Structure 1
Amino acid sequence: MASRTKFDEVKTLHDIEERFETVQILNEEGKIVNDSLMPDLTDEQLQEMMRRMVYTRILDQRSISLNRQGRLGFYAPTAGQEASHFALEKEDFILPGYRDVPQLIWHGLPLEQAFLWSRGHVDGMKGIEKLNILPPQIIIGAQYVQTAGVALGIKKRGKKAVAVTYTGDGGSSQGDFYEGINFAGAFKAPAVFIVQNNQFAISTPRSVQTAAKTLAQKAVAAGIPGIVVDGMDPLSVYAAVKRARERALAGEGPSLIETICYRFGPHTMSGDDPTRYRTEDLDNEWARKDPLVRFRKFLEQKNLWSEEQENGTIEQAKEDIKAAIKKADNAPKQKVTDLISVMYEELPQTLKEQYEFYQAKESK
């Protein structure tokens, strides 16, 4: 019999992947299936979670309608991913992708500014330095590198806060993704990296993104914890983010969280047709896992949610959106000089010349 070598003692890929089973607290029927992981939330906090998810779903529906009317510019639908918006504090810094506008709104960004951002107006992100947010990143995965830097800055300043970022499963294939988690891990920067695995990077299925069984296991190479959670279960996502935040504040470094979810709509409203790469059966399968449906069942069983509360939230969302789009419509028309003036703290000579040229034209 051949003698054993050091290579025989190396952990197999299967051994590693077995550590990344999907964590679930609330199942599709609204039943708690893992009491030991249940976060300590008051009734009011549970109701607020539901209110935010309902509000966000209405915001998504109305934003799609506004886009089709030509009243919004770029828009990436969010329905199906509402469970990802919890367990953060105001002092935390959010670095979003383009599908993460709701997180910014719940962090304090006024609705009308979100609408202006969609239109490409400079006032869309005006004053965001007071909110601890960056504008939604259009370059896929670039926010991961930025998050590592922001988190290191938080650490160097001794602040009790974390930097939180999001990307999709497609974003985890980008070089910036690996550089960001590796840098943050090396310096134990207080970051929480979230991959919203909604199964498709535009039309590319997750199955051909990587040979890895999970995206969370990519954390192993960076020497940081990784976890897979049911991304349609608000309680699982809340518990995972809360724990990752606690680790970061305790100086233990960053974490990587993969949320298994599904986007019910197209990738963006810019011509994507999901019926070309997704089946009706697949859509129906995921519709049964809808985070709003299961959380509504859970709260109703505890007598914490009613049709009246839901309808009130829907009407409030519609009123807020109507008022916000009116404000956006009434915003001053953007000038070329407005755009140039915010590009650099100190304009280079070429832009100074352009600024002066357009300033002269605009003054006529």
Structure 2
Amino acid sequence: MSSGQLPRWVDFGLIPALNLMAAFLVSGLVVLLIGESPIEVVKILIWGSLGFGEGIGFTLFNATSFIFTGLAVAVAFHAGLFNIGGEGQAYVGGLGVAFACLMLDSYVPWWVTLPFAVMGGALFGAAWAFIPAWLQATRGSHIVITTIMFNFIGAALMGYLLVDVISKPGSMQPETRTFEAGGQLPLLDDLLPGDFFGTSQVNLSLVIALLCCVFVWILIWRTRLGYEIRTFGANPTAAIYAGISPARIIIVTMMISGGLAGLMAINEIMGAQHRLLIEFVAGYGFVGIAVALMGRAHPVGIVLSAVLFGMLYQGGAELAFEIPAITRDMIVVIQGLVILFAGALEYMFRPALVQLFNFSSAPSKAAG
């Protein structure tokens, strides 16, 4: 093992687990400071998210959105790009989903509308990511700055459209009309026997999210384009020397990333709200950054970390109800600590682990 390298099980398993333990340890100290029991808090958090069918349903519903945005960030990561525009790309992607539903919902069943909604969400999200990608590829504009700016531009654009252009006639609410049955995805409870998930809104978009995980795995690790993306992300100079076009990789990767973010709107717009409304993204795009970091930009890790954040969202709601001293703001603090340790302090434990594994392998090297 060379200096700085770690076994894959340490890099992709142990380090994220240590980061998560550190986040919950600090969160436990905060809970102690306000006079509550951390053990009781953990019990309620787990029970509220996984202890009954409805809680599991809401956990999976939140996790579905996190999978889409986490995959979007992960694809860009592999090219060495930091796409912080998932929020805006998902927002504009909702416009593509809504257009498909508004045009078809009165004439065809949902399973005919769904492919057009998927294409609309992906195309609108990809188009919103294309402009920052083109600016970096051709003008040298930094992708972080431009994608952040486009989040606000997308929010302003959607506000204008929902108030003055596509709002429901006669309504003062910034939203479209409610979709007919042809524009509503079925809930999983409608497709499975029984009523396990209760009133939760987990719907067929969960299956679409898992299919996107398979797509990303094949794209990144089993295609020529994926190899070029990973090569460019690892060493742009070597990639250029090998004949890989930086402009093409930047634009194509960001459009794929934006398309995945745009698909998040399927879960919220077509699966739950059944209309396009203001601020439906609700921060999912930013949390997707932490999901991708904690999942090490791998689809399997992203699914696991998305479920974790889904548990924090759903379990946090139950926790705020059961223990009034633990407010929603306190839950946001816990989520923020997880993001801090998974993102900003991602490599806090790495130097010590590298020294430990190098020390443990030194006797075997000497004997060899």
TM-score range, shorter chain: under 0.3
Q: Which has the higher strand share?
A: 1
TM-score of the pair, normalised by structure 1? 0.25
Query: With CA pairs under 8 Å and 6+ residues apart, which has the higher RCO, 1 or 2?
Result: 2
Q: Which has the higher helix share?
A: 2
